[in-house]
Amino acid sequence: MRDVAVVGFTQSPSMRSEPDRNEVEILIPVIDALRKQTGLTSADMDFICSGSSDYLAGSSFAFVSGLDAVGAWPPVCESHVEMDGAWALYEAWVKIQMGYADTALVYGFGKPSMGDLPITMALQLDPYSVMPLWPDTLSIAGLQARHCLEKGILTFEQMAAAAARDRGHAKGNPNAQVKGDFTVEGILAEPFLANPLRKSDCAPISDGASAIVLAAGDRARELSKRPAWIRGIEHICEPMDLGVRDLGRSRSTEMAAAKAGVGKGKIDVAELSAPFTHQEILVERALGLGPDTKVNPSGGALAGNPLMAVGLSRIGECATRIWSGEADRAVAHATSGPCLQQNLVCVLEGE
Amino acid sequence: MSDANEAANEPIAVIRTPISLDYHYSAGQSASRFLRAIAQGKLLGQKCPVDGRVYFPSRGACPQHGVTFGDEVVELSDKGTVVTFSIVRVPSENIPLELPYITINVLLDGADTILIHVLDAKLEDVRMGMRVQAVWKPKEEWTTSTANILYFRPIDEPDASYDSYKEHI
Amino acid sequence: MSPTLEKALTAPHKLEYTYKRSLGPVLSPFFTALRDRRILGVKRRDGRVMVPPKEYDPDTSESLDELVEVSDEGVVTSWSWVATPRRQQPLDRPFAYALVKLDGADTAFLHVVDAGDEGNMETGMRVKARWADETTGMITDFVFVPA
């Protein structure tokens, strides 16, 4: 295996709505800032890979215009995933492992404020027997939350505590969207938004973008004083049909964590992109995190949720803490699909 | 709505699952500026700070170099040169023109990127290098839309030399 | 990027696709049976019955083709409440999405319960299908109601 590290990371603020900029205009300053941070241009990138969703943009092949922010002349080696940028990073990591690239630019961007996100996401469900019923994201997540609550897998108090913790941490994150001093009592006093979920149980809807530079071996050491080495990365998918899955645990996260080697040492920092409080608890358990891990120091997805960038940003948030020496070993998580259907786990280490 | 199968008691082989989603689309900074200008009859391009090429319509960043365009805009003429053309003999429900008609790639004077439009001319007259000008809707009908330009027409100017547009074909 | 943004032009936009989907050897009988107001599941090799049926076993990837009829009544195993339905959703009044384990099935079926009021919903409650007057072979040919 080649040594591959995260050596650059920039992100936009998460905003409920960016009414005056289009997707590409949200992305451009993020890529510009990454060039300044790393001193690299697009011509220095052996591979470029992005994550976005045409259904968020409301037009087909919308991702192609994202290349405007990168520059595609002379022609670039490029790819795209219709998923969170964390999966684009996985593709780039594979490309580097194969020896086809030493450097890669990865970015994710999304502007869900243009549409009705909870209903748009019904299109990721089984198109024959589920999508025509148009279950929205809150309803789907609510089925899982109630299952967990009524089976004694977790409690409303634990869910509220996750939201309060994350949004407290987010006070130190200038890019976070929902932050402040929330209390468990205060959250439990909220009315149900979609029984059994309260507003604070749900990640916000956010417009935003983020970008990462990966580099291999000595190239990474040139670009960073303390590269954040990717020591393990894996993604695992479960069936789409909720009825055949165990909704009370995240088996795919458990498997990805085992393959990525999460348990091989102490984890200082974990950044999770679970978009609902009960899912965050399930992911935390699946990763086997203990009290010596600081979970979501940035606030995680519950504090800012720029779809298609939020998972990639978790990897970036871990990397910045490795660069600074705040953490020696960190784990980032990204998710895709209904009720934690598919999960990516990435272990990062400093030297 | 499996109406295709409904008639008989035949097994259903295909279902229809239509989708319909509502968006509130934002043109963003560059396209908004371009569209507001065209409502005033002005055609705006933007200059790449790296190589000086003028992009039309204006956009947020240079798609070649990936650099942000500044606030500087370039107002372009509504006259230009046909760099290539095609004669269309197949109908499209989105184009309410009588067949056959001519589509052109036109290089507006001052621009470095081409605009695709239609030309009102005799089929036998159209040629590369032909000089053309936009025909606009009546001013009172102008909106923030590229549809303000109805089509292009030939003008009485000598053909442009091949060298003047060969980089833009 | 200039520090101050001008107000962008915006416009409503409706995105519509008229998707048609081929059903194949398992879903074709399933949707045909819905037209006849019957619900089919598929039997896995270990005897468990999955509803809706799938062509392949989600655990072992084995091909599955043994269709069996299950009841159109069952038990709610989880639910969530929709207080303000969206225009795409199947009912225009508050309702529940629920996981329903039909009698004779081993997996829960994600569908709609027309319960009237949130207070009428409870995990473990029995529900039964209320079929449309005219069924066409779609998943929306029925909704569940409290039994």
The 3-state DSSP class for residue B145 equals coil
The reply to whether A133 touches chain B by the CB within 8 Å rule is no
Provide the number of CB pairs (under 8 Å) joining chain B to chain C: 96
Q: Return d(Cα B35, Cα B50) in angstroms, integer.
A: 25
Mean pLDDT of C13-17: 93
Mean pLDDT of B67-71: 80
Yes or no: domain B78-163 corresponds to CATH 1.10.3470: no
Which residues, at least 6 apart from C75, have a Cβ–Cβ distance to it below 8 Å? C100, C101, C124, C125, C126, C127
Provide the number of CB pairs (under 8 Å) joining chain A to chain C: 118
In this model, does residue B168 exceed pLDDT 60?
Answer: yes
- CB-CB neighbors (< 8 A) of C50 in chain A: 241, 243-244
Q: Return d(Cα C50, Cα C62) in angstroms, integer.
A: 14
Residue C1 — pLDDT band, cuts 50, 70, 90?
very low
Which residues, at least 6 apart from C145, have a Cβ–Cβ distance to it below 8 Å? C113, C114, C115, C127, C128, C129, C130
A148 plus A64 within the same structural domain: no
Distance from CA of A204 to the nearest CA of C (A): 18
- Percent of chain C at pLDDT exceeding 90: 94
In this model, does residue A5 exceed pLDDT 80?
Answer: yes
Burial A81-107 (b: 16+ CB within 10 A, else e): bebbbbbbbbbbbebbeeeebbbbbbb
A210 plus A249 within the same structural domain: no
A274 plus A322 within the same structural domain: yes
The reply to whether A143 touches chain C by the CB within 8 Å rule is yes
In this model, does residue C3 exceed pLDDT 60?
Answer: no
The ranges assigned to domains in chain C are 24-146
Which residue bears the tokens 């190589």?
A: B51
Interface residue of A195, A247, A255, A279 to substitute, partner C, most C CBs within 10 Å: A195
Q: What ipTM was predicted for this assembly?
A: 0.96
Q: Return d(Cα C68, Cα C47) in angstroms, integer.
A: 11
pLDDT of amino acid C50 = 97
pLDDT of amino acid B95 = 76
pLDDT of amino acid A136 = 98
Interface residue of A143, A153, A237 to substitute, partner C, most C CBs within 10 Å: A143
A98 plus A196 within the same structural domain: no
In a domain, A224, yes or no: yes
Burial class (CB in 10 A: 0-12, 13-18, 19+), A22: buried
Which residues, at least 6 apart from A310, have a Cβ–Cβ distance to it below 8 Å? A84, A108, A203, A206, A208, A273, A275, A301, A304, A334
Mean pLDDT of C84-108: 97
A327 plus A258 within the same structural domain: yes
- Residues 25..64 of B with a Cβ closer than 8 Å to A: which? 25-32, 59-64
Nearest CA in chain A to C96: A139
- Residues 196..235 of A with a Cβ closer than 8 Å to B: which? none
Contact B51, B63 (CB under 8 A): no
Structure confidence by residue, pLDDT tens digits, A218-231 = 999 999 999 999 99
Contact B154, B124 (CB under 8 A): no
Contact B17 A132 (CB under 8 A): yes
pTM of the complete model? 0.94
In this model, does residue A135 exceed pLDDT 70?
Answer: yes
In this model, does residue B6 exceed pLDDT 70?
Answer: no
In a domain, A83, yes or no: yes
Q: Return d(Cα C34, Cα A185) in angstroms, integer.
A: 47
Structure confidence by residue, pLDDT tens digits, A259-303 = 999 999 999 999 999 999 999 999 999 999 999 999 999 999 999
SS3 content of chain C, % helix, strand, coil (to 5): 10, 40, 50
In a domain, A124, yes or no: no
A187 plus A219 within the same structural domain: no
How does strand A269-271 pair with strand A294-295? Answer: parallel
Structure confidence by residue, pLDDT tens digits, A19-38 = 899 998 999 999 999 999 99
Nearest CA in chain C to B2: C136
A155 plus A219 within the same structural domain: no
- Residue A59 belongs to domain with CATH number: 3.40.47.10
**Max Cα distance, chain B (Å):** 70
- CB-CB neighbors (< 8 A) of C80 in chain A: 138-143, 145-146, 194-197
Residue B124 vs residue B6, higher pLDDT = B124
Q: Which helix (H) or strand (E) holds B37?
A: helix B28-38
Find the DSSP H helices in chain A: 23-38, 54-57, 85-97, 117-120, 137-150, 156-169, 184-188, 217-223, 251-260, 277-287, 310-323
A307 plus A242 within the same structural domain: yes
Contact A132 C140 (CB under 8 A): yes
Which residues, at least 6 apart from A233, have a Cβ–Cβ distance to it below 8 Å? A90, A93, A260, A344, A345, A346, A347
Least confident of A202-206, B47-51, B143-147: B47-51
The reply to whether C52 touches chain A by the CB within 8 Å rule is yes
- CB-CB neighbors (< 8 A) of C99 in chain A: 143, 147, 242-243
**For every residue of B64-126, which 3-state class applies, written as one string?**
CCCCECCCCCEEECCEEEEEEEEEECCCCCCCCCCCCEEEEEEEECCCCCCEEEEECCCCCCC
Q: Which structural domain range is residue A32 located in?
A: 4-116+205-228
The reply to whether A269 touches chain B by the CB within 8 Å rule is no
- Name the amino acid, one letter, at C137: G
Structure confidence by residue, pLDDT tens digits, C20-54 = 999 999 999 999 999 999 999 999 999 999 999 99
In a domain, A152, yes or no: yes
CA dist B129 to B82, B104, B124, B132, C39, Å?
A: 5, 11, 14, 9, 68
Contact C20 B26 (CB under 8 A): no
Contact B16 C18 (CB under 8 A): yes
A327 plus A197 within the same structural domain: yes
pLDDT of amino acid C43 = 97
- CB-CB neighbors (< 8 A) of A19 in chain B: 26
Domain count, chain A: 2
Distance from CA of B33 to the nearest CA of A (A): 11
pLDDT of amino acid B1 = 46
Q: End of a domain among A193, A213, A228?
A: A228
Q: Return d(Cα A73, Cα B62) in angstroms, integer.
A: 10
- CB-CB neighbors (< 8 A) of B73 in chain C: none
A213 plus A326 within the same structural domain: no
Distance from CA of B9 to the nearest CA of A (A): 20
